[in-house]
Structure 1
Amino acid sequence: MAASTAARTDLPRGAVGVEACCSPVTGGVLDVDAAEYLARGFKALGDPTRVRLLSLIAAADGGEACICDLTGPVGLSQPTVSHHMKQLVDAGLVTRDQRGKWAYYAVVAAALRSLGAALDAAG
């Protein structure tokens, strides 16, 4: 992904994640950075179209999908899908790689694991 315009995929200090602290949100007080990181991720997943787009990318061959392959399955125009994808990129849930005219997206698995771990009340 040399020409990548990928979003930040590292977790802020104090965020719940694979390499970060493993306590869920119910395990103690989150610092401001961790709370903001988690809120961005959950807000991005608060839209059913974005959840569907994320699942389409995760299920795609090679673990990445072109924007041109995402518009049909969700029944939306390319500009609308691009808007949704920008929200997912900004939340750090997917990366974007520009290849000529087309943008390709891949899921950031660590970001999804961190959101899941944040809700894991069993710890």
Structure 2
Amino acid sequence: MVTMLDLTDVSSGAVCCAPLVREPLTQPDAEQLATTLKALADPARLRLLSIVASSADREACVCDLIDPVGLSQPTVSHHLKVLTEAGFLSRSKRGTWVYYGLVPGALDGIASLLVST
């Protein structure tokens, strides 16, 4: 059995799709965003970020971050390093301890992508 297909007249100038209403991501912006999202794409990192964000002054000592996530100190330090390199956390050493603070506005860009306008 032969099925007949409907043909679309492309010479009529009819638009098949709605036009863009805002500028899409550029290739460099998409690559940067993918790197940023990869930093968040781990349950332990999300928990660590949430704990820091929920702490007084949005800052926590690394010594207070190990038990809540149930991981070894080197593993927690690795995750904190990834979050710091991605721009979500700042790091400051005080004596023998390292404190991590939420970078102001670091989550705003991600949140704006997730909220439809």
Q: How high is the TM-score relative to the length of structure 2?
A: 0.75
Tell me which amino acid in the other structure corresponds to 1:110: G
Q: What is the CA distance between 1:31 and its match in structure 2?
A: 2.5
Q: Amino acid of the residue matched to residue 94 of structure 2?
A: R
1:48-83 Cα offsets, whole Å, 9 max, x none, are 100000010011122100000000111111100000
Structure 1 distance, partners of 2:32, 2:105, is: 13
Q: Do structure 1's residue 106 and structure 2's residue 101 form an aligned pair? A: yes
1:34 aligns with 2:51: no
Please say if 1:74 is aligned against 2:69: yes
How far apart, in 2, do the equivalents of 1:74 and 1:27 lie? 40
Report the more deviating stretch, 68-77 or 94-103.
Answer: 94-103
TM-score if structure 1 supplies the norm length? Answer: 0.71
Relative to structure 2, which stretch is displaced further, 32-41 or 55-64? Answer: 32-41
What is the alpha-carbon distance in structure 2 between the residues aligned to residue 89 and residue 79 of structure 1? Answer: 15
For structure 1, the 5+ residue unaligned runs are: 1-25
What does residue range 1-123 of structure 1 map to in structure 2 within 5 Å? 27-122=22-117
Query: For the aligned residues, what is the CA RMSD?
Result: 1.6
> Match of 1:80, SS?
helix
- Provide the rounded CA distance (Å) in 1 between the counterparts of 2:95 and 2:22: 46
Stretch deviating more after TM superposition (38-47 or 26-35): 26-35
Deviates more, 1:74-83 or 1:108-117: 108-117
Gaps of 5+ in 2: 1-20
Per chain length, whose mean CA-contact separation is higher, i.e. which structure has more relative contact order (CA < 8 Å, sep 6+)? 1
Larger Rg: 2
